[in-house]
């Protein structure tokens, strides 16, 4: 069932953007669930792309369109932060490192499971069980370039995603320097070239080399990220208006024709999908923001990675020998495959996805996963400043003002303001005679209560974590400033980190008092 790309339906990795927007996780969760049911349909009814099942199940046949949707959603999610700061990425190495840390551990774990299932239980490809070439090609994510028997029919799109991730920094730069129209034109150029080479016929797609064909969907999602802070338009109506003609064509032409013309259908459906994502991101939906759907969206990447081996074992080894093909077989596969896939994906995410989503490096991950004891120290310092609370609050909510406020902090970079918090990178500089060493701090600054309280969460190399909460209380002709610090450090670094934190806290109090009295 996986020898042709139209039989595979990948779901994009939930993106790890610095900003999360209500409703998007719900969309992602529903789309992932559709993918699972689509593969159950393929196992229950033979003859795809011809609909050999009941007409009322026909809407489950278009799993390929999930590829397009998740690519649009991926481009949108990844571009949210760059779009908010003038289309600046904040470092190519940083972006690629975070993407790899986010998607590769779960992918490789799922690859190991899929290889075992395909080799021992049921092959995932009409080309037979996986080979040594399969392991190499899929481990290196070369399956969009090199053909090999697949261990999991959904994995081809992971390679497409990775190719787009690699060019994402270039796409961001082009958007900043050339504008939205030029970027979309560049994305469409390979697409148009492919059309010209086809001599006016519908281009024939193979099982790989699909990144260029699908790049316009990814770029459309990127460009849509700017609409989150743009003028409010009737996005849901625009989605309906642009999607209705595509639905009409699919409904009237049928599934077989659609499968042969996905090259065009993919492009035609992009506007409707883009407008839908903007509508959800800029509006409110009680259903999409409900707890169950948000939870489903939170492990949708894991659901995508492992569901196909699960439903194939159930469909081919349990259901088909008993029920053959048809509606009873499809329903039995759904009733068994969906809940088992959901539960298995939830467990898989707890082990192979969640730790890598919550921690951005191995230095952070090891203490979090293995429960290495982390001593905690709490201390506070109060002092009076002859300035109103509002003035102090405004000063402390601007990341650039922390340069020099803390004696070790010499620079602030990659400031990314968001609706509820601001993230930035602070550079601490340590000196020992003529030698110097720069320490990168990842800081999240959260205004808790206007003019009264703010919180900074700091993650430093070496798994050192610090949370500083500043409370501002009007007092006489000024303000009582109380900074409470909670410090988590590995035991080996505790004495050094505690000494530095207390020294910096007192120096910060002195400098803030001086600044406010000017």
- The CA distance from 281 to 283, in Å, is 6
DSSP calls for 258-279: HHHTHHHHHHHHHHHHHHHHHH
E strand or H helix at 443: strand 435-449
pLDDT digits (tens, 9 = 90+) for 406-449: 888 999 999 998 878 899 999 988 776 666 778 889 999 999 99
Q: Work out the mean pLDDT of the chain and round it to a whole number.
A: 88
Split at pLDDT 50, 70, 90, the class of 14 is very low
Spatial contact of 268 and 258, defined as CB atoms under 8 Å apart: no
- Determine the distance from the C-alpha atom of residue 427 to the mean position of all C-alpha atoms in its chain, rounded to a whole number: 27
Show the tokens assigned to 369: 């996963």
Split at pLDDT 50, 70, 90, the class of 300 is very high
Question: What's the Cα-to-Cα distance from 438 to each of 360, 400, 401, 429, 432, rounded to whole Å?
Answer: 19, 17, 19, 5, 12
pLDDT of residue 284: 82
Question: What's the Cα-to-Cα distance from 257 to each of 53, 202, 262, 481, rounded to whole Å?
Answer: 17, 11, 9, 70
Mean pLDDT over residues 153-181, rounded?
Answer: 95
Longest Cα–Cα distance of the chain, Å, equals 84
Instruction: Identify whether 49 is preceded by a cis peptide bond (ω within 30 of 0).
Output: yes
Q: Is 415 helix (H, G, I), strand (E, B) or coil?
A: strand
DSSP calls for 301-326: HHHHHHHHHHHHHIIIIIIHHHH-SS
Check whether 163 has a pLDDT greater than 70: yes
Residues forming beta bridges with residue 465, ordered by sequence position: 459, 488
Residue matched to tokens 């490192």: 97
Q: Which residues contact 384 (CB under 8 A, 6 or more apart)?
A: 475, 476, 478, 479, 480, 481, 513
Counting residues of the chain whose pLDDT is more than 70, the rounded percentage is 90
- The CA distance from 415 to 421, in Å, is 11
For 100-178, strand residue ranges (E) read none
pLDDT of residue 16: 35
pLDDT of residue 438: 83
Spatial contact of 296 and 349, defined as CB atoms under 8 Å apart: no
Closest listed residue to residue 221, CA positions, set 377, 75, 431, 322: 75
Identify the DSSP state of 403: B
């Amino acid at each position: 069932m996986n020898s042709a790309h139209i039989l595979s339906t990948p779901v994009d990795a939930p993106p790890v953007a610095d900003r999360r927007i209500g409703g998007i996780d719900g969309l992602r969760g529903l789309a992932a669930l559709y993918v699972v049911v689509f593969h159950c349909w393929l196992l229950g009814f033979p003859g795809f792309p011809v609909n050999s099942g009941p007409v009322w199940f026909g809407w489950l046949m278009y799993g390929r369109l999930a590829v397009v949707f998740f690519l649009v959603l991926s481009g949108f999610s990844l571009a949210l932060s760059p779009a908010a700061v003038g289309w600046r990425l904040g470092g190519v190495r940083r972006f690629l490192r975070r993407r790899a840390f986010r998607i590769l551990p779960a992918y490789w774990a799922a690859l190991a499971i899929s290889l075992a299932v395909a080799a021992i239980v049921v092959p995932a490809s009409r080309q037979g069980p996986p080979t040594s070439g399969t392991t190499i090609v899929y481990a290196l994510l070369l399956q969009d370039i090199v053909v090999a028997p697949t261990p999991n029919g959904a994995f081809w799109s992971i390679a497409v995603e990775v190719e787009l991730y690699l060019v994402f920094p270039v796409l961001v730069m082009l958007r900043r320097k050339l504008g939205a129209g030029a970027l979309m034109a560049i994305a469409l150029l390979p697409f148009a070239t492919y059309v010209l080479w086809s001599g006016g016929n519908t281009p024939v797609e193979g099982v790989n080399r699909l990144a260029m064909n699908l790049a316009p969907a990814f770029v459309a999602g990127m460009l849509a990220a700017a609409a989150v802070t743009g003028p409010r338009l009737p996005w849901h109506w625009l989605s309906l208006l642009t999607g209705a003609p595509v639905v009409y064509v699919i409904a009237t032409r049928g599934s077989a024709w659609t499968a042969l013309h996905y090259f065009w259908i993919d492009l035609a459906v992009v506007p409707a999908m883009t407008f839908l994502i903007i509508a959800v991101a800029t509006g409110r939906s009680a259903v999409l923001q409900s707890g169950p759907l948000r939870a489903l969206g939170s492990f949708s990447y894991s659901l995508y990675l492992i569901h196909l081996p699960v439903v194939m074992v159930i469909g081919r080894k349990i259901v088909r020998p008993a029920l053959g093909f048809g509606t009873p077989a499809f329903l039995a596969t759904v009733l068994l495959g969906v809940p088992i896939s959901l539960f298995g994906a939830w467990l898989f995410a707890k082990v192979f996805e969640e730790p890598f989503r919550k921690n951005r490096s191995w230095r952070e991950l090891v203490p979090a996963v293995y429960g290495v004891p982390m001593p905690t120290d709490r201390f506070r310092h109060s002092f009076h400043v002859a300035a109103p609370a509002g003035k102090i609050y405004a000063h402390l909510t601007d990341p650039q003002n922390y340069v020099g406020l803390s004696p070790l902090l010499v620079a602030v970079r990659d400031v990314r303001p968001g609706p509820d918090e601001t993230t930035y990178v602070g550079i601490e500089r340590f000196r020992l005679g003529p030698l110097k060493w720069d320490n990168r701090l990842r800081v999240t600054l959260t205004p808790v209560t206007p003019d009264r309280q703010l919180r900074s969460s700091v993650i430093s190399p070496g798994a050192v974590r610090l949370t500083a909460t500043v409370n501002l209380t009007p007092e006489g002709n000024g303000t009582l400033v109380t900074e409470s610090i909670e410090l988590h450090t590995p035991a080996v670094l505790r004495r050094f980190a505690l000494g530095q934190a207390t020294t910096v806290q007192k120096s910060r109090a002195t400098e803030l008092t001086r600044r406010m009295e000017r």
